[in-house]
Chains A and B, each alone.
Chain A
Amino acid sequence: QKEVEQNSGPLSVPEGAIASLNCTYSDRGSQSFFWYRQYSGKSPELIMFIYSNGDKEDGRFTAQLNKASQYVSLLIRDSQPSDSATYLCAVTGMNRDDKIIFGKGTRLHILP
């Protein structure tokens, strides 16, 4: 059973600080990794994806992938109250039979 694990939180971070969200996955063959943000009552929206080991930066967001350790993380710099949401990690492989698997999400609360 392929699994994606996230700490459910809530993770409380002061405004302006760095929020660090982590995700581990069980399938070593996983190739694509996504971070989605979901506000309460809304649908998930894509923040970024990563598929190569290392860091990928997009504005205040940095995704980090370590395939050897099977984890992917998301860093949010200069956290804002508007970043308060649930963050979903999603993982998929490279075969047509591979299904994208979502973690249950981490609730992030930015303290003003």
Chain B
Amino acid sequence: KAGVTQTPRYLIKTRGQQVTLSCSPISGHRSVSWYQQTPGQGLQFLFEYFSETQRNKGNFPGRFSGRQFSNSRSEMNVSTLELGDSALYLCASSRYGQGRIADTQYFGPGTRLTVL
């Protein structure tokens, strides 16, 4: 069974640009969650999509947005990039979504974003 895939794996952008990251979940998984990981802040939740609807959102500015398609693939967009957006962006998929007991998230390899 194929795991979670993310593209691209590495990205270099400059301040003010925008970026779109893609995530394909494990087959049969309907929930996709996005996280930002930095050395100082650890793993921080961005948002969760389930069946094309955003179910949960973390405390990030509106520059961070996402969507999910009917095949459960998800994209995350960051507009007007700032230096502080440099991070590892991880997506995780699960079958039933957050809040279901023992629903397990499986992570993709991540996209390393560097903002210059």
B15 within 8 A of A: no
Cβ of A103: which chain B residues have Cβ within 8 Å of it?
42
List A24-42 residues whose CB lies under 8 Å from chain B.
Answer: 31-32, 34, 36, 42
Residue pair A98, B99 in contact (C-beta under 8 Å)? yes
Alpha-carbon gap, A105 to B44, bound state (A): 12
User: In the docked arrangement, what's the CA distance between A32 and B97, Å?
Assistant: 13
The answer to whether residues A99 and B42 also contact, given A34-B104, A44-B90, A93-B99 and a CB cut-off of 8 A, is: no
Q: Which one, B33, B35, B58, B103, contacts A32 given CB within 8 A?
A: B103
Which range holds the interface residue count of chain A? 20 to 34
Q: Which residues of A in the span 2-42 have a Cβ within 8 Å of any Cβ on B? A: 31-32, 34, 36, 42
- Of A32, A45, A51, A93, chain B has the most CB atoms within 10 Å of the CB of A32
Determine the residue in chain B with the shortest Cβ distance to A101. Answer: B45
| Residue A97 CB within 8 A of the other chain | yes
> Which residues of A are found within 8 Å of B35, using beta-carbon distances?
102
Is the C-beta of B102 less than 8 angstroms from some C-beta in chain A? yes
Say whether B101 contacts A96, CB under 8 Å: no
Chain B minimum-CB-distance residue to A48: B104
Chain A CB within 8 A of B108 CB: yes
A71 touches B (CB below 8 Å) = no
Which residues of the partner chain A approach B114 to less than 8 Å between Cβ atoms? none
Q: Is B66 an interface residue (CB 8 A)?
A: no
- CB of A82 closer than 8 Å to a CB of B: no
**In the assembled complex, which residues on chain B have CB atoms less than 8 Å from the CB atom of A31?**
101
B106 within 8 A of A: yes
Ranked nearest first, the 7 interchain pairs of A and B with the lowest CB-CB distance are: A104-B42, A102-B43, A43-B107, A98-B99, A96-B99, A43-B110, A44-B107
13 contacts between A and B (CB under 8 A): A32-B101, A32-B102, A43-B110, A44-B43, A46-B104, A46-B106, A90-B105, A92-B99, A96-B55, A99-B45, A99-B58, A100-B98, A103-B42
